[in-house]
Amino acid sequence: VPGGLQVSGSASVDGTGRLTLSGNYSLNGIYNRPLVISAGALVNFGSATFNQPVTVNPGGTWTINGSATITINESLTNRGTLRWISRNNVFNLLGAGRVENLGLWEIFSDPGCPQCGSESVVQLPVNVPAGGKLLMSTNGIVSFTPGSSLTVAGELEVQEGGRVRLDGNNPPRDLTLAA
């Protein structure tokens, strides 16, 4: 979609084919078609549900700059950049799907309150294969809760004040760090 697009609240994107975004967008809603964030695109999502595969291509960026619930019911494949907020504003990532992070996924501290204590939450499996990177920027924090797991064969970087937490609820989470 090279021109304008607005999807908000409970509006849904339906039909055939895939939705390819190029340009700058701020979106919410329900996505029932495969979604591609193209090279050069910058897409900020509020709360959204994805019922088909989502792909962030190299050079594409998906941001979350305010509190949001992201539901992934298929797969999220990142080959570009995910830049998602924590601390004051947070994201809650859940659903029946999974994340394959072959690019950079940065979880950063809300600049409006970099010392606030709210954690962003992941409730589905995350895989960071060789070549991928999960980055907790300075003071960025995330909690992996029931339904999640974290497998890292790529890079896991936790900067000063950052934290990756596997909570103590049942069932326990799997953490796999490969050489």
pLDDT in tens, 18-58: 999 999 999 999 999 999 999 999 999 999 999 999 999 99
How much is the pLDDT for 108? Answer: 96
pLDDT in tens, 140-163: 999 999 999 999 999 999 999 999
Any idea how long the chain is? 179
Q: What secondary structure does DSSP assign to 53-120, as a single string?
A: -EEE-TT-EEEE-S-EEEEESSEEEESSEEEEEEBSS-EEEESS-EEEESSEEEEEE-TT-TT--BPE
